[in-house]
Structure 1
Amino acid sequence: MSYYQNNNFNPNGGFQNMNNQNNMSGFYQPSNQFSFPQGSMSFGNNPSGNQGNDSNGLGVEPDPLPRGILYAFSTKGYPHEPPLLEEIGINFDHIVTKTKLVLIPTFSQNVLSQEILNDSDLSGPLLFFLLFGLFLLMAGKVHFGYIYGVALFGTVSLHNLSKFMNSSQPSTSQSKLQFFNTASILGYCFLPLCFLSAIGIFISLNNTLGYVMGSFFVFWSTWSSSGFLNSLLQLHHARALIAYPLLIFYSVFALMAIFV
């Protein structure tokens, strides 16, 4: 309880209390004075330690989203809500980074971070396979079924082979290779073969020049993918060994682009 001193001065001497009913040794409690129980109000910190659903730490609930058909197509969301593409696992920064690393096949393994290696994004590989089939279609070759069939069979085979190579390395027991990691690496390194199929639209590849260009783009894809897998599996002096099955895998797609 808070008490206030009455400072009304009486000329006859002393101080006079204006409220005789609440007189307590010259002090009184005004009627408009409020007392709050301890813990009834909090500013910033909640004494009970339970913040509930407040988003700003002040005990204030966020405004609810408006309802209705028109607002269903709006871009308004709750504060600190992640974007939709990030929630479904599509990261444009990783897509651009991995594409640049494929386009520069002489990259150092130190450039590859563990976050990039463990990325299992398949949006880029699906786009590259679709472009490869579209360029072949523009050149008069319909091979969509063969493309996705060979890609699926080759990815499963190379993934199992990579797991066997990883299990033979005692120092890499901490790295766990997932199927989608292998599929993502093989799909991103498929990009050079899209250039080969695009060139086949304008000139015939069933000649010496086409064989040379096909060998070049296959070696490009093989070198890039072997670098990714070698860094992911942490293999020592085994890049040539893992590059051999990758060379066979990408050569099948080059044959689709060269021959009718």
Structure 2
Amino acid sequence: PMGGAVSIEDEPPLLEELGIDFSKIYQKTVSVLNPMVKVTEEMMYTRNHEGKLEPDNDLAGPILIALMLGASMMLRGKLQFGSIYGLGVVGCTSLWLVMTLMSKRGIDIYQTASILGYCLLPMVLLAFFSVFFSATGPVMTLLASGVVGWCSWRSSDMFTISMEAHNEKVLIAYPVALFYAGFALLAVF
């Protein structure tokens, strides 16, 4: 190549350039759905070219999960994409501010959105389940409470690893539970 131009063969693959790693997406998805899988630092961080740890700011998985949540709500005839987007943006920004104030290491807003988005996956199951069952019964109330607890507990696991705040898990789980309670109200009613 003339003049320092780079050939096509020397370019990295598009998914690598965009930072989309399907093995990480699978790993985080399994860690959210299976409470027996321990959240590790390798799950929350990636190594850059120099070997240093960087926050894993993957937003491809959370965007897909938010679309799945909207699609499962659409099965009940409710078009809620704007509400999901609005609650997600306001909630992620608010929780990022809270987590930044609580953390020793500091946390990136993209990492906050990634954690909250991946842990929204059980809410998709709740929304899909609410297609077939009445939202007013005690079974749905208990199920929604359980899913909010599940989402908030797994996300507080991920936040404690990301922020190095191992003794503050319950303190982190409370505001996160309020965030997921808003999504549960959208999913059930």
TM over 0.5, shorter chain? yes
Q: In the alignment, what sits opposite 2:151?
A: 221
Q: Taking structure 2 as the reference length, what is the TM-score of the superposition? A: 0.87
In structure 2, runs of 5+ residues without a counterpart are 47-53
Q: In the alignment, what sits opposite 1:95?
A: 25
The CA deviation at 1:81 is 3.8
Q: Give distance in 2, aligned partners of 1:176 and 1:218.
A: 25
1:201 corresponds to 2:138: no
Q: Deviations over 1:171-203 (max 9, x none)?
A: x3xx33111010000000000000001111222
The CA deviation at 1:210 is 0.5
Q: In the alignment, what sits opposite 1:83?
A: 13
Q: Assess if the C-alpha contact under 8 Å between 2:20 and 2:58 holds in 1.
A: yes
Q: Assess if the C-alpha contact under 8 Å between 1:205 and 1:257 holds in 2.
A: no
Q: Give distance in 2, aligned partners of 1:236 and 1:99.
A: 22
Q: Give distance in 1, aligned partners of 2:166 and 2:70.
A: 36
1:119 corresponds to 2:42: no
Q: Deviations over 1:213-252 (max 9, x none)?
A: 1111111100110000011111131100010000000001
The CA deviation at 1:84 is 1.0
SS in structure 1 opposite 2:171?
A: helix
Return the structure number with greater helix share. Answer: 2
2:177 aligned to which of 231, 238, 247: 247
Please report the RMSD computed on the Cα atoms of aligned residues, expressed in angstroms.
2.0
Q: Assess if the C-alpha contact under 8 Å between 1:102 and 1:188 holds in 2.
A: yes
Amino acid at match of 1:189: C
Equivalent runs, 1:151-162 vs 2, <5 Å: 151-162=88-99
Q: Give distance in 2, aligned partners of 1:217 and 1:194.
A: 10
2:162 aligned to which of 232, 240, 251: 232
1:163 aligned to which of 81, 96, 100: 100
Amino acid at match of 2:102: M
Equivalent runs, 1:1-260 vs 2, <5 Å: 77-78=8-9, 81-109=11-39, 111-113=40-42, 115=45, 118-166=55-103, 172=104, 175-259=105-189
Q: In the alignment, what sits opposite 2:49?
A: none
Amino acid at match of 2:178: I
Q: Assess if the C-alpha contact under 8 Å between 2:116 and 2:155 holds in 1.
A: yes
Amino acid at match of 2:158: F
SS in structure 1 opposite 2:45?
A: helix
Count of residue pairs brought into register by the alignment:
178
Q: Give distance in 1, aligned partners of 2:161 and 2:118.
A: 15
Q: Assess if the C-alpha contact under 8 Å between 2:31 and 2:38 holds in 1.
A: no
Q: Assess if the C-alpha contact under 8 Å between 1:133 and 1:144 holds in 2.
A: yes
Q: Assess if the C-alpha contact under 8 Å between 1:105 and 1:223 holds in 2.
A: no
In structure 1, runs of 5+ residues without a counterpart are 1-51, 54-61, 65-76, 167-171
